[in-house]
Structure 1
Amino acid sequence: MQLVIISGRSGSGKSIALQALEDLGYYAIDNLPAMLLAPLIDQLEVGSPHRRRIAVSIDARNLPDALERFPELLEGLTQRGLDAQVVYLTADSKILLERYSATRRRHPLTRESQMTLAEAIESEQHFLAPIRHTADLVIDTSNLSVHDLRGRISEQVARHTEKQLTLTFESFGFKRGVPLDADMVFDVRCLPNPYWDPQLRSSTGQDADVIAFLENYSDVQAMYDDIRQWLERWLPAHLASNRSYLTVAIGCTGGQHRSVYLIERLAIHFATQFPSVRLRHRELSIQKAMGEEVHAAS
């Protein structure tokens, strides 16, 4: 039996993720008290043995004691041989504040307390820390659309195979901050920057002219070799420690040229060694989405 536990900060998209799994055939339960995890599995194994894929959401609406005991409860399930994944959704606090302000919904922690919305958003991280620390996969939804999040859940969670490492390579720009879901971060801002060539400014690290520019510099090749060799040395250790997901992020200033080029090369290289490699360009996706919005508005 496969169990997917969706958790995370309120406003980060937990309902969307759960609905995506339900649409993919999972038996979905929203806002399950954590203490009922084991009884739920017991009941399904006896009364509904045909249900092999279960998805539940557990969030800050749980009792504090139940959240604190979550790692212990999860360990009990895995010892029974259950294939359990914990997926934690998060987003930048400012983004969450904007989402709540736009929808005018009340945050769960403000309903029975005198907290302001901003205080509730920050306090929730503390309450959910026991779940966050056990998460197999963290997804930063700050810049994801509903469609993007549903795609990530379908691609990374629903298609995940037990005992297989899903390796994600992500490019980003430091000007927008480090991705919240990155496990390893490499900074390549020290490399020659194609941005300062007016003819290359609008191109990306996927384009032949930028690739040719970067490959003229030995430092770029040296950086690639160092990152590749470091990953080749340590990825097997992460796989041996039963990691299900790993996100390697490379950042440059704008996330358009240098990081894109290096991520593309690394993804191609490691796809020959790992059966499940994903490629993501954060800033290019944001630019594409903004372009589509402008086009639709016009």
Structure 2
Amino acid sequence: MNDEKSGVEVAVVSGLSGAGRSTAAKCLEDLGWFVVDNLPPELVSTMVELGAQARGVITKVAVVMDVRSRAFTDDLASVIKDLDARGYKPKVLFLEATDAVLIRRFESVRRGHPLQGDGRLSDGIAAERRMLMPLRDEADLVLDTTGLSVHQLRGKIEDAFGSESSARTRVTVLSFGYKYGLPMDADLVIDVRFLPNPFWIPELRDNTGLDSEVRNYVLSQEGAEDFLDRYQELLRLIGAGYHREGKRYLTLAVGCTGGKHRSVAMSEELAGRLASEDGMTVKVVHRDLGRE
């Protein structure tokens, strides 16, 4: 079986304890990888085969491995060779850092090293470094996280394992009605109740912001276009900042009184504008549309 037939990409993430494996795993999940942490080496090939049989549901499998597994280095080396022979061509990421940084990280969380035993923290780090040296030498990508922030590490992993679409900030524009309560998951909230309410116009009352008559009425009101222009520029700045900080999900809540007219029309218009921005994918959800 080759990787074209299986349609599954495989990555193996390993490295020194405290060097950033958990951050790497979370980043890969955000990039759309199916991540399995600390799977026994003898089960890795089975996991990948199951992914290949999922008929496109799972297309990227990442296995995070560390020295907690028995016979770690020998078994993992065999697994990598087996996957390679099957045509999966696994990409191996190895994370490391200097002893001083690793010691500081362990001390900051007040945890011992998995190989420390009754010895010192530095003894566990040295033993692990020796144990993993063969794997490091065979890795496709070695990342030294000594001087990297969490966000910088995420950026390097995105460059290595992400696609253009997976690295985009995913924006959900959510319309809602204030009388039904604020959305609990909103990152930003926009209040469009400063615009005249179509509810008080008899011929528009039974329509919604999805209807052209209501949309045209709302967008033609004084301040509507200026508001959209300026908020789009603000979101461009916020989106770029979120991207730099590694935040890949943004929920923008747009509210009016009942969530039927103004918020719906403004959400649709704002989403259409954001969809044209670089680095964003946008979807619209109307939470309270259809309520009485």
From 84, 88, 91, the equivalent of 1:82 is 88
Letter in 2 for 1:150: R
> Does structure 1 conserve the Cα–Cα contact (< 8 Å) formed by 2:12 and 2:93?
yes
- Pair 1:62-2:69 in alignment: yes
Shift of 1:157: 2.5
Per the alignment, in what secondary structure is the counterpart of residue 93 of structure 2? Answer: strand
Specify whether residues 157 and 47 from structure 1 end up closer, same or farther in structure 2 by C-alpha distance, changes over 3 A only. closer
Show the 5 A alignment for 1:159-170: 159=163
Shift of 1:153: 0.3
Query: 1:122 maps to which residue?
Result: 126
Higher mean C-alpha displacement, 70-79 vs 16-25: 70-79
- Pair 1:137-2:144 in alignment: no
Per the alignment, in what secondary structure is the counterpart of residue 133 of structure 1? Answer: helix
Shift of 1:11: 0.5
Shift of 1:144: 0.1
Structure 2 residue runs of 5 or longer lacking an equivalent are 1-7, 165-292
Aligned residues: 157
Per the alignment, in what secondary structure is the counterpart of residue 61 of structure 2? Answer: strand
Shift of 1:83: 3.3
Deviations 1:106-165 (A, max 9, x none): 21223xx212111001100122223212200000000000000001000122249xxxxx
> Does structure 2 conserve the Cα–Cα contact (< 8 Å) formed by 1:68 and 1:130?
no
Shift of 1:72: 2.4
Show the 5 A alignment for 1:77-226: 77-110=83-116, 113-159=117-163
From 10, 16, 20, the equivalent of 1:9 is 16
Per the alignment, in what secondary structure is the counterpart of residue 90 of structure 2? Answer: strand
CA distance in 1, matches of 2:54, 2:161: 26
Letter in 1 for 2:40: P
CA distance in 1, matches of 2:55, 2:149: 35
Structure 1 residue runs of 5 or longer lacking an equivalent are 161-298
CA distance in 2, matches of 1:49, 1:131: 30
Per the alignment, in what secondary structure is the counterpart of residue 115 of structure 2? Answer: helix
- Pair 1:71-2:65 in alignment: no
Specify whether residues 86 and 157 from structure 1 end up closer, same or farther in structure 2 by C-alpha distance, changes over 3 A only. same
Query: 1:32 maps to which residue?
Result: 39
Deviations 1:67-112 (A, max 9, x none): 22322221111111113100000000111011111121221223xx
Shift of 1:10: 0.5
Whichever of the two has the greater Rg, that structure is: 2
Per the alignment, in what secondary structure is the counterpart of residue 14 of structure 2? Answer: strand
Query: 1:205 maps to which residue?
Result: none
Structure-1-length-normalised TM-score: 0.50
CA distance in 1, matches of 2:43, 2:61: 14
Deviations 1:144-195 (A, max 9, x none): 00000001000122249xxxxxxxxxxxxxxxxxxxxxxxxxxxxxxxxxxx
CA distance in 2, matches of 1:151, 1:23: 12
> Does structure 1 conserve the Cα–Cα contact (< 8 Å) formed by 2:51 and 2:61?
no
Query: 1:45 maps to which residue?
Result: 52
Shift of 1:46: 2.7
Per the alignment, in what secondary structure is the counterpart of residue 69 of structure 1? Answer: helix
Structure-2-length-normalised TM-score: 0.51
Specify whether residues 32 and 48 from structure 1 end up closer, same or farther in structure 2 by C-alpha distance, changes over 3 A only. farther
CA distance in 2, matches of 1:151, 1:124: 26
Per the alignment, in what secondary structure is the counterpart of residue 124 of structure 1? Answer: helix
CA distance in 2, matches of 1:8, 1:159: 24
